[in-house]
Amino acid sequence: MSAAFDTMSALELRRRIRTRDISPVELTRRALDKAQATQGTLNAFFVLMEDEAMAAARVAEDAVMKGAPLGLLHGLPFSAKDLMAVKGQRYASGSRAMADNVASVDAPAVERAKAAGGILIGKTTTSEFGCKPVGDSPLTGITRHPWNLDKTP
């Protein structure tokens, strides 16, 4: 898959999925590979959900191939901040005090994105309880900005 896909808008990716120019499986694999390749430097993800994401991508691709009705986010990888509950995943909100907490339901925003066909690839880091405007927490450390490693988003 071309690196050009990394900078395409969601609308363009959506169009290309619908016309079968891009596979949801390939797009999700690309997103996961990029996340894994940059995790050591950026520390962007609290958890990557590779197995779940790839399973959802295969289901999304089957729907495309069958000509089924597609949601607005169909086949598009997305991430959720660790401030949002994701059923079955750790839900720490960037805090050591909540490090072992596991969500029993999806947050409404996550539920809606999935219902629209979005493919959740993981949960991103956050400052403790989202209280700071910078990306660091006692649980996950500092998150670096991808275009300037001296900064934190």
- Could you tell me if 73 and 152 are in contact, meaning their C-beta atoms sit under 8 angstroms apart? no
Alpha helices in 43-143 (DSSP H): 50-66, 108-115
150 falls within a domain:
no
15 falls within a domain:
yes
Domains of the chain: total: 1
Domain range for 109 is 3-142
pLDDT one digit per residue (tens) for the chain, 153 residues: 567 778 999 999 999 999 999 999 999 999 999 999 999 999 999 999 999 999 999 999 999 999 999 999 999 999 999 999 999 999 999 999 999 999 999 999 999 999 999 999 999 999 999 999 888 999 999 999 999 999 887
Torsion of CA 74, 84, 32, 47, to 10 degrees: -150
17 falls within a domain:
yes
